[in-house]
Amino acid sequence: MVLPTVALVGRPNVGKSTLFNRIAEERISIVEDTPGVTRDRIYTHAQWLGKEFSLIDTGGITVSDLSLNQEIKTQAEIAINEADIVVLVVDARVGVTNEDEAVARILYQAQKPVVLAANKADNLAQRQDIYDFYALGLGEPYPVSGVHGTGMGDLLDQIIKNFPDENLVVDDDSIKFSFIGRPNVGKSSLVNAILGENRVIVSNQEGTTRDSIDTKFIDRDSGQLYTMIDTAGIRKRGKVYENTEKYAVMRALRAIDRSDVVVVVLDGAQGIREQDKRVAGYAHEAGRGVIIAVNKWDAVSNKDQKTMQEFTEYIRQEFRYLSYAPIIFISALKHQRLDQIVELVTAINENQQRRIQSSLLNELLLKATAIAPAPIVKNRRLKVYYLTQVQVQPPTFVVFVNDPELFHFSYERFITNQLREVFDFTGTPIKLIPRLRK
């Protein structure tokens, strides 16, 4: 599903990050019990009235060698390039400034929906004294308080009114997978290598992700249609001097949202970097299937029989939250083990859509609780009554218990591991939702 993207822009100290945290509060509260899920504050998922969207805080994008005005302009241009809707954040206590007018002029010419948020309107007088912002030419200003949360409903109502028409999104029955990773890890080379003699290219077309190319191909052997998303096309646009790493992350996010399976590409010769963990963590949180592909394995020097096992242990240590993701060692240059990519994509896509009968789930639950009885938390024993599957992509299960607060993450992990031992969920995350039995 392609999510609309909303970007917050504005001069420094208007409270963009506070608004960002306020809008995304529920989604940010996701907790991983294992270390390693790296989040960059400039992006997240959020939702309002059942509509999900990607949220970008351009306050996290800075270019140190530029003047303040140029930096503000840079952020606005990045938002224009990447977002479907732009929220211009101004300070209701200060009023209109020259910097506000400069950003407004850029946005006015962008021909994209703009919503004007007058932040820091913390009391009634400040909420009423916002009429000067009409002079920006961007329509009605919405007084809000990122600190106290007042006015957020009206602002979010206006934002979702500007979402693209869902009926205009054209989908197909192909299996969609993308390559994500740092620049120069070999993503484009992998795309070209996979499109070998045994694949029939259907079309190349620009994707929803800016500067990405969707390549549709049919596997000759199976007849299955695939859409391969290449996110390698990250380049400077005109006078936009973007922070390359964070700009690349934004590109990867949109590709992940459109994918059934994500291939995290690592450079075998260089090892793991922070950005690798950042985008992989997002794929995990988005519930996508994940493959870890170590490219350029042919360039790794001094290999012996233990090198691959040692590198696997290194990956498992750095990506603890991706313990379910298969690891493959490949070479786009030498065409080594590339056939495993499409095979794994197909298998993981099936695992993502796997449904398990409730009778089988509760038989598993009965055996699991016999092996490891439910724990006692705060002098109360957890009682697990029933397990049922409610969703696929990713497989999601509701666990009916006597008190959801007693459902400790360690017992959640135990039940998840039991599910993986009995059923094939290779490559896909599993979500467990504790719910009070009424």
Asked whether residue 268 is marked as a ligand-binding residue, the answer is no
Residue 184 marked in a binding site: yes
258 is in an annotated binding site: no
Is 15 annotated as contributing to ligand binding? yes
**pLDDT score of 209 more than 50:** no
- Is 277 annotated in a binding site? The answer is no
Give the model's pLDDT for residue 163.
87
Say whether 120 counts as a known binding-site residue. Answer: yes
Is 17 annotated in some ligand binding site?
yes
Average pLDDT over residues 105-127: 87
Question: For residue 364, what pLDDT is reported?
Answer: 93
Ranges 62-71, 73-82, 158-167, most confident: 158-167
CB proximity list for 394: less than 8 A, separation 6 or greater: 287, 288, 289, 352, 428, 429, 430, 431
Annotated binding residue 232: yes
CATH number of 171-352: 3.40.50.300
381 is in an annotated binding site: no
Compare 79 and 333 and report the one with higher pLDDT.
333
Q: Is 187 annotated as a binding residue?
A: yes
Whether residue 231 has pLDDT greater than 50 = yes
Does the annotation place 119 within a ligand binding site? yes
Q: What is the mean pLDDT of residues 313-334?
A: 93
The pLDDT of residue 286 is: 87
Residue 210 annotated as lining a ligand binding site: no
- Segment 86-95 shows an average pLDDT of 92
Most confident of 16-25, 244-253, 290-299: 290-299
Is 234 assigned a ligand-binding role in the annotation? yes
Of 79-88, 317-326, 390-399, minimum mean pLDDT range = 79-88
Whether residue 5 is annotated as binding a ligand: the answer is no
The rounded percent of the chain whose pLDDT value lies above 70 is: 83
The whole-number pLDDT of residue 421 equals: 94
Query: Residue 60, annotated ligand binder?
Result: yes
pLDDT class of 358 with cuts at 50, 70, 90: very high
103 appears as a binding residue in the annotation: no
Cα 218 to Cα 216: distance, rounded to the nearest angstrom: 7
**Interval 50-62 mean pLDDT:** 77
Q: Mind listing the pLDDT tens digit for each residue in 234-292?
A: 444 444 444 555 666 677 777 888 899 999 999 988 888 877 887 788 889 889 999 99
13 marked among binding-site residues: yes
Judge if 5-167 and 171-352 fold alike in CATH terms: yes
Average pLDDT taken over every residue of the chain: 82
| pLDDT tier, 65 (very low <50, low <70, confident <90, very high otherwise) | low
| CATH value of 358-436 in 3.40.50.300, 3.40.50.620, 3.30.300.20, 2.60.40.10 | 3.30.300.20
16 in a labelled binding site: yes
Q: What is the mean pLDDT of residues 195-213?
A: 60
Span 212-216, average pLDDT: 75
- The answer to which of 111-115, 299-303, 307-311 has the lowest mean pLDDT is 299-303
Q: What pLDDT was estimated at residue 39?
A: 43
pLDDT at 97 over 80: yes
Query: What integer pLDDT is reported at residue 131 of this predicted model?
Result: 87
Residue 179: pLDDT over 60: yes
pLDDT of residue 291: 97
Residue 40 pLDDT: 46
What CATH class is the domain 5-167? alpha beta
Q: Which residue has the tokens 């940010």?
A: 28
Q: Return the percentage of the chain with pLDDT > 90, whole number.
A: 37
Closest residue by Cα to residue 180 from 140, 216, 221, 232: 232
Q: What was the pLDDT predicted at 378?
A: 76
Is 223 among the annotated ligand-binding positions? no
227 is in an annotated binding site: no
Query: Where exactly are the structural domains of the chain?
Result: 5-167, 171-352, 358-436
Question: Is residue 248 annotated as involved in ligand binding?
Answer: no
pTM above 0.95, yes or no: no
246 annotated as belonging to a binding site for a ligand: no
